[in-house]
Amino acid sequence: MSIKNKVFTILNSNSDTFISGNDIAKILNVTRSAIWKAIKSLELDGYEIISSTNKGYMLLNSNDMLSKDGIEKFLDNKNFYNLIVHSTVTSTNDLMKDIAIKGGNEGTVLISSNQTKGRGRFGRSFYSPKDTGIYFSILLRPSFEAINSTFITSMSGIVVCNTLKNNLNIEPKIKWVNDIFLASKKISGILTEASFTIENFDVDYIIVGIGINIYKPNEGFPLDMNDTASYILENKIPDLRNRLLANMLDEFYKYYSSFDLTKISTEYKNLSCVIGKKILILEKNMTISALVNDIDEQCRLIVTLESGERKILSSGEISVKIID
């Protein structure tokens, strides 16, 4: 563990009380100037630390900063997960791809407070501003057949909705296939990427990337997102993002370890906000309007087109927009 992380651990276990630089230096057996450097670096990461010449340093408990220790404090399934926490990355999915190619283990989770090149489906970007959201990717190496991989996306949507409901008493819904909506606006997106071996179509790895807008971005949303994107909370809650992440990983493990496809498709359908709605089907250069009749046991969308033709849609290259 770096000196910075050790200093953070000490401050965090004494949060809202002062501890002198001298005492921290003694505990860690390093110089006071090394402590000072670590404090400055933590402040640059966004932690609010009060410094007093006589009393030392105090980490404010009103912080809602992501940290490995902070998440592990709430996490039950520590044996399955290996957490890597960064303050900023390009894209957690992109970095995880490198880890996967180099043989990274199932259960590796890459978490960041900020992404400079966050990605969504169809090559779109995913706005990932600093310190107000949660952005993370989970590496999986499942033994099931490739055909079942699509259930991982549906399962992840259920996990996000359940965790937000359990912690914040809100009832988000899933807009097929993987957008999480609250009051008709998107608060979260999920990007599942997989690699298969060509010979037998075994799953080599799956990366589940999840982004959630918890608080209002410091600079607001870009203008073109104002009508479609939203966030969950106005005011910061201490340690909320650490708790949500831990609870989400535990909830994910619960569904992944049983991988009960009937349960997943039933719950996915119950959380859907598209059934009975008029939609636009956006497919490559085509836009078709349709009415959503149902979601089937494979989490596919059953629709009736304007022509009266009934169609079953799999996620693949299609996205939908609710119009009524």
In the range 200-259, which residues lie near ligand BTN by CB under 6 A? 209-211
Total residues interacting with ligand BTN, rule: CB under 6 A = 21
* 137 forms part of the interface with ligand BTN (CB under 6 A): yes
For 118-175, the DSSP string reads -B-GGG-B----TTTEEEEEEEE---SBGGGGHHHHHHHHHHHHHHHHHHH----EEE
Mark the segment that binds ligand BTN (CB under 6 A) among 60-68, 76-84, 112-120, 220-228. Answer: 112-120
316, two tokens: 């693949």
26/124 with CB nearer ligand BTN: 124
C-alpha span between 145 and 91 (Å, rounded): 27
300, two tokens: 């596919």
* 189 forms part of the interface with ligand BTN (CB under 6 A): yes
Mark the segment that binds ligand BTN (CB under 6 A) among 54-62, 154-162, 188-196, 236-244. Answer: 188-196
| Collapsed DSSP state (helix, strand, coil) of residue 88 | coil
* 121 forms part of the interface with ligand BTN (CB under 6 A): yes
* CB-CB contact of 67 with 12 (8 Å): yes
CB of 237 to ligand BTN, least distance (A): 21
CB of 216 to ligand BTN, least distance (A): 18
Q: Which of 12, 67, 91, 150 binds ligand BTN (CB under 6 A)?
A: 91
C-alpha span between 166 and 171 (Å, rounded): 9
C-alpha span between 215 and 139 (Å, rounded): 26
* 135 forms part of the interface with ligand BTN (CB under 6 A): yes
CB of 6 to ligand BTN, least distance (A): 28
* 191 forms part of the interface with ligand BTN (CB under 6 A): yes
Find out whether the peptide bond into 159 is cis, omega within 30 degrees of 0: no
Which spans of this chain sit near ligand BTN (rule: CB under 6 A)? 91-93, 115, 118-121, 124, 126, 128, 135-137, 179, 189-191, 209-211
